[in-house]
């Protein structure tokens, strides 16, 4: 990566790159073809404190790192900045700070990743911390070599066109409507049915109505065997597909995330199918932990951290 970056840096040109030049500029700098899903997976739950700890000590609340809104009932799915979260500084290690954050919010119904169990929320928090820690070295290297005003940074920070904003919206949908991209009617119908019977003109009304139907039917289908009954048959397929589904670039043709959840649910369920059902396997046994472990070990190559570090550097130093 170092060599690639140096070569790129030396070859940088003055004029701002045009949109169609960005894919080439990014790939020549060694960024992966799955740059957008890789980066969004790693930034969606970042906080100001995390940014200060892992990347830039003087980052502010105007940090420009877009994140998925922790309030899953809000009409605003994606926030323009990572929020200040308020870790308990009485804890020294990052691990206990993260653990405390999960524990003290565990009974907030519409916050974070509601359908994860407490154990899964902890696993998720620690997994993200590991990804950030892994990107620290690459960040420092990039900081030494790259000009934040480079063409590369213009492309990397153009989140409306490079896929990052779309992928963040997709993650928000997956958190709000578990299984929505699974392609399985048994999971998606519950959301579509309640969306159809709903007046989408006011966010408040639609949110309240939809949520009522959503929660009850989700739990019903979950308990009734959406999970256990089909477990044996689909487990290996799901386990093997999960890593792929999480890190594959998606085509968002014709999907406009400015629309409301209700207006978009059908399109998301039909056009963005990736067969993933992240919430389909709970950590309730050593056997299911194996599924999680497989997912949490990803990514297995350095390119992910390089992608992440590049995004963080260019965004945090954007001029």
Question: Two tokens at 51?
Answer: 């940014």
Work out how close the CB of 317 gets to ligand NAG at its nearest, in angstroms, rounded to a whole number. Answer: 8
Among 2, 96, 103, 106, binds ligand NAG (CB under 6 A): 106
Cβ atoms of residues 61 and 81 within 8 Å: yes
- Complex with ligand NAG: residue 57 or 254, whichever CB lies closer: 57
Distance CA 266, CA 173 (A): 11
Residue 196 near residue 265, CB atoms below 8 Å: no
103 near ligand NAG, rule: CB under 6 A: no
Distance in Å, CB of 263 to ligand NAG, minimum: 31
Determine contact, residues 243/298, Cβ cutoff 8 Å: yes
For residue 107, state whether it binds ligand NAG (rule: CB under 6 A). yes
Give the count of residues interacting with ligand NAG (CB under 6 A).
4
- Please tell me whether residue 37 adopts helix, strand or coil conformation: helix
- Does residue number 109 form part of the binding site for ligand NAG (CB under 6 A)? no
**If DSSP codes are grouped into helix, strand and coil, which group holds residue 106?**
coil
- Site membership for ligand NAG, residue 84 (CB under 6 A): no
Closer Cβ to ligand NAG, 81 or 198, answer by number = 81
Q: Locate tokens 């080439």: which residue?
A: 24
93 binds ligand NAG (CB under 6 A): no
Nearest-approach distance from CB 101 to ligand NAG, in angstroms: 15
Task: For residue 253, give every residue at least 6 positions away whose Cβ sits within 8 Å of its Cβ, in sequence order, or none.
Answer: 271
Q: Would you tell me which residues interact with ligand NAG (CB under 6 A)?
A: 58, 106-107, 118
């Amino acid at each position: 990566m170092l060599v690639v970056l140096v070569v790129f840096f030396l070859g940088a040109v003055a004029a701002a790159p045009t949109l169609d030049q960005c894919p080439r500029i990014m790939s020549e700098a060694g960024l992966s073809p799955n740059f957008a899903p890789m980066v969004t997976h790693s930034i969606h739950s970042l906080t100001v404190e995390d940014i200060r700890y892992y990347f830039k000590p003087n980052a502010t609340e105007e940090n420009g790192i877009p994140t998925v809104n922790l309030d899953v009932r809000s009409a605003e799915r994606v926030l323009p900045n990572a929020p200040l979260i308020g870790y308990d500084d009485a804890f020294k290690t990052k691990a206990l700070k993260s653990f405390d954050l999960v524990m003290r919010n565990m009974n907030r119904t519409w916050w974070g990743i509601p359908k994860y169990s407490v154990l899964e929320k902890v696993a998720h928090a620690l997994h993200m911390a590991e990804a950030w820690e892994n990107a620290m070295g690459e960040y420092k290297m990039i900081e030494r070599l790259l000009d934040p005003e480079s063409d590369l940074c213009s492309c990397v920070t153009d989140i409306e066109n490079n896929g990052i904003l779309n992928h963040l919206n997709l993650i928000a949908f997956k958190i709000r409507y578990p299984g929505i991209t699974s392609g399985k009617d048994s999971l998606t119908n519950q959301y579509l049915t309640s969306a159809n019977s709903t007046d989408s003109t006011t966010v408040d009304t639609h949110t309240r109505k939809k949520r009522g139907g959503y929660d009850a039917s989700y739990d019903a289908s979950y308990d009734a065997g959406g999970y256990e009954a089909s477990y044996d048959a689909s487990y290996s397929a799901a386990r093997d597909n999960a890593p792929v589904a999480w890190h594959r670039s998606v085509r968002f043709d014709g999907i406009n995330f400015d629309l409301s959840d209700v207006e978009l649910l059908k399109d998301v369920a039909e056009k963005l199918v990736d067969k993933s059902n992240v919430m389909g396997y709970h950590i309730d046994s050593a056997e299911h932990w194996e599924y999680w472990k497989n997912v949490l070990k990803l990514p297995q190559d350095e390119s992910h951290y390089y992608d992440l570090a590049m995004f963080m550097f260019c965004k945090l130093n954007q001029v």
